[in-house]
Structure 1
Amino acid sequence: MPVIATAGHVDHGKSALVEALTGIHPDRLKEEQIREMTIDLGFAWLTLPNGETVGIVDVPGHLDFIENMLAGVGGIDAALLVVAADEGVMPQTREHFAILTLLEVCRGVVALNKIDLVDPEWQALVEEEIRALLRGTCWETAPIVPVSARTRAGLEALVGALQQALEGQPPPPDLGRARLSIDRVFTMPGFGTVVTGTLRDGCFRVGDEVEIWPSGRRARIRGLQSYRRRVEQALPGSRVAINLSGVSPEELRRGDWVTVPGRFAPTALLDAALIHWEGSPRPLPHFAEVKFFHGAAQIMARVRLLDREILPPGEMGFVQLVLSRPTIAAPGDRFILRWPSPSITLGGGEILDAHPARRHRRLRPEVLTALRALHRADPASRLRVWLQEAGSLALSEASRRLALPPETVRRWFEALAERGEAIPLAGDLWAAPDWQARAVGQLVERVEAYHRENPLRRGMPREEARSRLGWPAPIFEAVLQAALREGQIEEIGPLIRRPGFTIRLTEAQRQQVETWLTGLRRDPWHPPTWKEAEAALGRELLQALLDEGRLIRLGEELVMLPETWNEAVARIREHLQAHGTISAAEARDLLGTSRRVAVALLEQMDALGITRRVGDVRVWGAESGGDPGSKTSDS
C-alpha cells in the first residue's frame, strides 16, 4: 500500500485536486475550511485502475506551515508536485521540491493545475519553467500532466501517470523493526488513544506490545485501521491508525515513534552526510543551531562540521548532529535541516550512524575515511567499517547500531566471514581480519612489559592484563585463547607469561638468597615465620623463591625448604607404617622440632590428604587408600 504526498505552493490547488481525485476533502480543521487554506496534514486514499490502494497525505503550501508539511513527507513512496498554471513555479514550489529531492523522493508526477485559467501559449511557457526546475535532478523525466481540479480535465491521465510512477517499485521491506512516526494524536469515544502515521520497516498486529520513543513507555495495540478499514495486521508502507491502550493522548506528541520492542535505543548524537541546499541563504558555520526534521519529529540541534570550518550552499559535508533531546533513528534514514531564522530549508541528507561511539575529533582523515565508506552503504559494508574502526564488535552492539534483529545481523557477519572480511570470536564477537593479530600483539607487549617491570614474578595475573588493556572480558578471553593457540602466551594457573620466561635475580639478590638459605639449611627444623622471611628478603624476593619452588609455605605462618618438607613426610610415613597413628607431640619429637612446626606440618598433610585427623591423632589419609607406602616422598 504505497503512500504519496502532495507538494507545492499555497493556493495552487493541492487539496482541491486531492478531493477531485478521491472524493475526500483532506482539510479536516474548521479553521482550514473557513480560511480555505490547508494548515495541517490532511489524509485521503485513491484506488488506482490496477486495483491498488494508494494513501495520500495532503500538505500545507504556505510558508508559515512548511514545518507541518515536513511532518507528512517522511517515509512516502512518491509525490504529486502541484503547480498552478496561472502562477507557475513559486518560492514554495522550489522549497517543497528541494525537500523532496533531499529526502530522495524520486518517483512522482507534476500536476499542472488550473489549466482552465490560461491559454495554451501561457501553459507551454509554464511547462518549460517546470521542466527547467526538474532538470539535473532525479525528477528530470517525471511526467507533467495538465489538469483542472475544477473542470476535472486531465484527471484520468493524472491517475494513469501516478500508477505508472509507482509501477515496478518493490514493496516496502519488512526489516523486522516496525516503526511509525506519529503525525497525529487524538481520542475516539469508546476507543481511547489513537495515533496515525506511515508504517515503516515492519508489521504491526493487533495485540502487539509496542515501545513509544523517546519516553520508552510500553503500550499495547488494541486495534488497527488502514484507510478506514479494520485490519488485524498493518503492512510496511501503509497509512495506519493505531488504537493504543496503556497510554493517554497527553503523553504523546507529533514526532514520537511507536516501535517494535527491543529494537531501537534513543540517541542524541548522529553521524550524517549533509547536502547544503543551493537555495539556502547563507553558508553553514561549525556548531550552528538548526532545526532537525526526521519522520514527523522536529528537534533543535547543533551541527558539528567534521571536514571543514564552513559549508557553503550547494556542497556536501560530513557532520555530527547534536540533538537537544533524544530520538530514534537508523542508518540510511533521511532528514531535513532548516534555519531557525529566517525560517527556510537549509539542507538534508543521510544518517550514517545513529549510535556513534563518541564525538569525533574534527578534521581527522581516519574519521572522514570511515564516514565516506558509510555513505550509501548496505548493512554488510557498515559492519565492515565498524569492525575496522573498533577491531571487534559484539553481535548485540551491531544489532543496536543497525536497528536490525540479531539473526539478521548474524547473517551479514557470516557473509563477511565467507569473503574473508570478518572472523568469528567466542561469545558472539566478530573481528576484522587483521584485528586478532594486532590484539594478540598488544597482549604480548603488555605481558612483556609486566615481565620487565616485575622480573621476580613468574607471571602476570589474567585480570590485571585485561584491566590494563581495557578490554571487555569476552574480548580478552578470545584474544588470550588465540595467543595460547599460537604459542605466544602460556598459562600457569591464574597467571599468564611469555613461554620460556624465568625469574631473573641480580647478582646481589642471588648472594642475599644463598646466604639466607644457607642459614636455613643449618637449622631446617626451626623454619622462620612468613614475617621473619619477608623482613630478611623482602616480599618480592620471598615470593620469587616460592614461585620457583625453592621454598614452600606451611599454612599462613611458616616457610620451609622443600627438602625438609619431603623428609618430614617420609619420616611420618614410616612412623604410621609402624604404629598406625601419630600425635602432634610424637611428630615434634620424631622431627626434633617445635610443637608449632609439627602442628603446621600435620595440618598441611591433612590438607593434601596424606594424613587424616581422628581425635588427637593422625592416621594415614584417604588419598592413599589406607596404604602409607602408596604415597611418594614428594607428595
Structure 2
Amino acid sequence: MGDFIKMSFYIVGTAGHIDHGKTELSKTLTGIMTDRLKEEQNRGISIQLGFAPLVLSDGSKVGLVDVPGHERFIRQMLAGVGGMDIILLVIAADEGIMPQTKEHLDIANLLGIKNLIVVLTKKDLVDDEWLELVKDDIKIYLEERGYKNTPIIAVDSISKTGINDLKAALNTEIKKLPTKEKGVFPRLPIDRAFSLTGFGTIITGTLWSGEIKVGDTLELLPHKKQVKVRNIQVHGEDKPIAEAGQRVALNIPDIAVKDVVTGSLLIKEHFIKPTYKIVTYFSLLGDKKALKNRQKVRLYLGTTEVLGRLILLENDSLESGNSMFCAFYLDKAINCTKGDRIIVRTQTPMETIGGATIIDTEGKHIKRKNKEYIQLLERKMAGSPEETFLDSLIDTPMATKESLSKLLEMSIDSILELIENCGDEVILIKNNYLAKSTYDYFKNNMMNYINQYLEKHPLRQGVPKEEIRTKVFSSLTSKEYNNLLFLFEEKEGIMVKGDSISLVNYKPIINEKTASIIQKIERLYAKDGFNTRSLEEYATLLKINKKDLFEYIQHLQQQEIFIKIGEELFLLNTVFAANKEKIINFIKKEGSIKLSEARDILDSSRKYVLPFLEYLDYKKITKRQDDVRILF
C-alpha cells in the first residue's frame, strides 16, 4: 500500500416519521421498491432496512438506504444510519415535523452527519401558502440544531413533481462532500443475513473501511469464526472487490444464517479486540432529563445493540443539554475503535437521549473525579499532532515521508519532526514508516499463521513465502512485504530461506514411525535411481496415501535430500548430481547436446529426460538453443 489511497463512494439515506413517504420516495428515485417483506407491504411501513442503487443526474451511482420510521423499529433505523454520508429527511407537507422526524434528526446530528436535504413529500395535498409555512417552520427548527442553509425540496412521489430538482440538489450536495479516507483494514457491520438456494449465506452491510476481495478470509465477530468470501455484489452487480463507503452483499457459504446474530461484524482477523469498557465524550440532548451516575442505558454502534451502565467521570449528574467524559460498563463485549460514534437510549421509556464519541477502547485505569485523568482524556480527544499522525500512519502502513507529507498537508521537515516526537511508536523500514501498533498486528498475525501451519504440517520446515503474503500481508506490495520480512528476520525470530518462512531453531517433529517411513522412501528412490515411479505406486508400496507421501517428500525437499524437477517428479539429490555431471561433461566434450543424446546418456525415456533438461535450464546450468542445449 505505501501511498495513501482516496476514494469517493457514498451512501444516501432516508429518515423521517412513519408514513411520510420515505419508501415511496426511494422507489421513485431508484425504480426499486425497498419494502422487501410481505408484512411490510401489507402494513405499508418499513420494518427492515431497504437498499437500492441510485443513479444521479451526472450518471454517477450511490447507495440509497431506506430506514424504518416507526419508533418500535428504531434499532433497524440505527443499523442503517451509521454508514450514511447524506440524509434525506423526509417530512410530509400535510403533517410537518413529527416525533420520529425529531428523533431521526437528533440521531443524525449525534452521529456527526451534517449533510442534509429536507424532502417535503405529498406537496399535492396542500396549497402553496401552507407549503411555505411548513418550509419556514422546518428552516427554524433545523437552524436551532446547527443545520443552516439546508436545501428544502418539495416533491410528489406519485406524479414525480420536484424529483428532478431533488436529484440536482443531491448531486450538488454530494460534490461538496470531502473525499473519504479509505483506510486499510476492512470493517463491515452486518445489517442483514439470509440464505439463497445454491449459494448459502448472504450478508449485507455498508463497508466502513478498507476493502474486501473475492477469496479473502475474514473474521466474523462475535463468534470469532473464519469465513471465506466466495462472491461480492455491489448494487446488484458481481465485483471482484468492494471498497469503503459501498453497500455490499457477500456470499460466505461456510457459515449458517443463525450464526450471524444482531451486531455481527466482519473484519480482518485480530484487527479489533472486544471490550466490556469504553471511555467516551457523551452529549445529552437538551430536552432530556438529567442523568445520574451508574444509570442503566442502551447503546447502539452500527448494527450492535448492548445494555450498559453509565459512569459519569466528572460529576454525579449530567444536566440536560450538557456534555461530559463518561465511561460505559457493558453487559456484553462490543467491537469498536477510537473515534466511533454511539447512540444512547434509555431503557424505559425507550427514547434517544444522547450520543458519544469513543476515546478509549481499553477501559483501563478509569478514574472518577480525577483531575489528571480528565486532562489525559482531554488530550486524547483533542488529538495532539503526534496522535493525529499515528492515526494516519495506522491507516497507511509502509508510507513514505513524501506520501505522509501529501496526506497531512505538511512539509517533509514537519513530518520528520513528528516521527522523532513519536519515538518508539514509529518504526522505519527502508524509507517506509510503520506504526508500532500495525507492526505488532502484522507480527502477531504472521506468527499465528506460521504456528497454525506448522501444527497442521508437522514435517514441513516452513510456510511458503507467497502464501503468507496472500493471507496476512495482502495490503502490502511485494517490495513492502519483503522489506518488512527483512526486519522480522532481524528482530522477531523468523527465518526466510528460499521461498519459505519458518521459525529460527524450528525442527520438524519426527517420531520413530515417521523416521522409518522416510528411510523406506529414500531406499525406494535410491533403488530406482533416475527412472522413478509415480507417487501412486510409491504410496501403494509404502501402504500410505498419496497425500501423506507428498508431506514426507516435501520434508525431504526441505532437508535438501530430494529435488523436484517436474510435476510430481522428484529425484534424490545424489542421483540428480550424478546425472547433471553426465550432461555437463558431454556438452563440454561435444559443444551441445540433443534430447535424443541425453536419453542415451541417461539411459531413460523422454518422460524423465525432458523435465530434467528443463530443470537444468531453469537453474541456469544449461541453455536451450534451437533443438540443442549448451552450457549457460
* TM-score, normalization by structure 2: 0.62
Aligned to 2:588: none
Matching residue within 378, 383, 386 for 1:380: 386
Number of equivalent positions: 414
* C-alpha separation in 2, matches of 1:40 and 1:427: 46
Matching residue within 106, 118, 123 for 1:115: 123
Matching residue within 334, 346, 350 for 1:343: 350
Please give the secondary structure, in 2, of the residue aligned with 1:159.
Answer: helix
RMSD in angstroms over aligned alpha carbons? 2.7
* Segment drifting more, 190-199 vs 135-144: 135-144
Alpha-carbon shift at residue 406 of structure 1 (Å): 6.0
* C-alpha separation in 2, matches of 1:39 and 1:125: 31
* C-alpha separation in 1, matches of 2:299 and 2:366: 20
Aligned to 1:231: 239
* C-alpha separation in 1, matches of 2:147 and 2:118: 9
5 Å-filtered alignment, 1:94-173, equals 94-173=102-181
Alpha-carbon shift at residue 329 of structure 1 (Å): 1.1
Note if 1:365 corresponds to 2:371.
Answer: yes
5 Å-filtered alignment, 1:314-463, equals 314-356=321-363, 358-375=364-381, 377=383, 380-381=386-387, 404=395, 407=398, 415=415, 417-418=417-418, 421-424=421-424
5 Å-filtered alignment, 1:19-30, equals 19-30=27-38
Alpha-carbon shift at residue 425 of structure 1 (Å): 8.7
Alpha-carbon shift at residue 137 of structure 1 (Å): 3.5
Alpha-carbon shift at residue 372 of structure 1 (Å): 1.5
Aligned to 1:69: 77
* C-alpha separation in 2, matches of 1:101 and 1:62: 19
Aligned to 2:201: 193
Aligned to 1:83: 91
Aligned to 1:275: 283
Aligned to 1:54: 62
Alpha-carbon shift at residue 426 of structure 1 (Å): 11
Alpha carbons 1:196, 1:242 under 8 Å: kept: yes
Q: Deviations over 1:136-156 (max 9, x none)?
A: 444211100011112211000
* Segment drifting more, 136-145 vs 203-212: 136-145
Note if 1:265 corresponds to 2:273.
Answer: yes
* C-alpha separation in 2, matches of 1:378 and 1:82: 39
Amino acid corresponding to residue 225 of structure 1 in structure 2: Q
Alpha-carbon shift at residue 374 of structure 1 (Å): 2.1
Alpha carbons 2:187, 2:268 under 8 Å: kept: yes
Q: 1:132 to 1:333 in 2, by over 3 A?
A: same
Q: Deviations over 1:564-604 (max 9, x none)?
A: xxxxxxxxxxxxxxxxxxxxxxxxxxxxxxxxxxxxxxxxx
Alpha-carbon shift at residue 262 of structure 1 (Å): 2.9
Alpha carbons 1:223, 1:230 under 8 Å: kept: yes
Q: Deviations over 1:163-212 (max 9, x none)?
A: 11110323432211111000001011111011100001110000001011
Q: 1:236 to 1:430 in 2, by over 3 A?
A: closer
Amino acid corresponding to residue 380 of structure 1 in structure 2: E
Alpha carbons 1:213, 1:257 under 8 Å: kept: yes
Please give the secondary structure, in 1, of the residue aligned with 2:329.
Answer: strand
Matching residue within 280, 302, 314 for 2:309: 302
* C-alpha separation in 1, matches of 2:21 and 2:285: 26
Note if 1:44 corresponds to 2:58.
Answer: no
* C-alpha separation in 2, matches of 1:88 and 1:164: 25
Q: 1:363 to 1:136 in 2, by over 3 A?
A: same
Alpha-carbon shift at residue 331 of structure 1 (Å): 1.1
Alpha-carbon shift at residue 371 of structure 1 (Å): 1.3
Q: Percent identity?
A: 35
Please give the secondary structure, in 1, of the residue aligned with 2:78.
Answer: helix
Aligned to 2:101: 93
Alpha carbons 1:293, 1:335 under 8 Å: kept: yes
Q: Deviations over 1:229-265 (max 9, x none)?
A: 0000001100000111322111112321101223221
Please give the secondary structure, in 1, of the residue aligned with 2:193.
Answer: strand
* C-alpha separation in 1, matches of 2:389 and 2:370: 21
Please give the secondary structure, in 1, of the residue aligned with 2:421.
Answer: coil
* C-alpha separation in 2, matches of 1:368 and 1:253: 36
**Residue ranges of structure 1 left out of the alignment (5+ in a row):** 385-397, 432-635
Matching residue within 4, 8, 14 for 2:12: 4
Alpha-carbon shift at residue 268 of structure 1 (Å): 1.7
Please give the secondary structure, in 1, of the residue aligned with 2:204.
Answer: strand
Alpha-carbon shift at residue 359 of structure 1 (Å): 4.1
Alpha-carbon shift at residue 45 of structure 1 (Å): 1.6
Q: 1:327 to 1:286 in 2, by over 3 A?
A: same
Please give the secondary structure, in 2, of the residue aligned with 1:201.
Answer: coil
Please give the secondary structure, in 2, of the residue aligned with 1:57.
Answer: strand
Amino acid corresponding to residue 173 of structure 1 in structure 2: E
Amino acid corresponding to residue 195 of structure 2 in structure 1: T
* C-alpha separation in 2, matches of 1:409 and 1:324: 43
Please give the secondary structure, in 2, of the residue aligned with 1:330.
Answer: coil
Please give the secondary structure, in 2, of the residue aligned with 1:424.
Answer: helix
**Residue ranges of structure 2 left out of the alignment (5+ in a row):** 1-8, 409-413, 429-433, 437-632
Q: 1:292 to 1:198 in 2, by over 3 A?
A: same
Amino acid corresponding to residue 421 of structure 2 in structure 1: E
Greater Rg, structure 1 or structure 2?
1
Q: 1:300 to 1:383 in 2, by over 3 A?
A: farther
Amino acid corresponding to residue 190 of structure 1 in structure 2: G
* C-alpha separation in 2, matches of 1:232 and 1:77: 24
* C-alpha separation in 2, matches of 1:379 and 1:147: 46
Amino acid corresponding to residue 327 of structure 1 in structure 2: I
Alpha carbons 1:38, 1:59 under 8 Å: kept: yes
5 Å-filtered alignment, 1:500-579, equals none
Alpha carbons 2:385, 2:418 under 8 Å: kept: no
Alpha carbons 2:419, 2:426 under 8 Å: kept: no
Amino acid corresponding to residue 350 of structure 1 in structure 2: T
Please give the secondary structure, in 1, of the residue aligned with 2:378.
Answer: helix
Alpha-carbon shift at residue 288 of structure 1 (Å): 1.1
Q: Deviations over 1:15-44 (max 9, x none)?
A: 111111111111001111001111111111
Aligned to 2:464: none
Q: Which has the higher contact order (CA 8 A, sep 6+)?
A: 2
* TM-score, normalization by structure 1: 0.62
Q: Deviations over 1:101-143 (max 9, x none)?
A: 0001111210011110001111111111111111144421110
Please give the secondary structure, in 1, of the residue aligned with 2:158.
Answer: coil
* Segment drifting more, 256-265 vs 288-297: 256-265
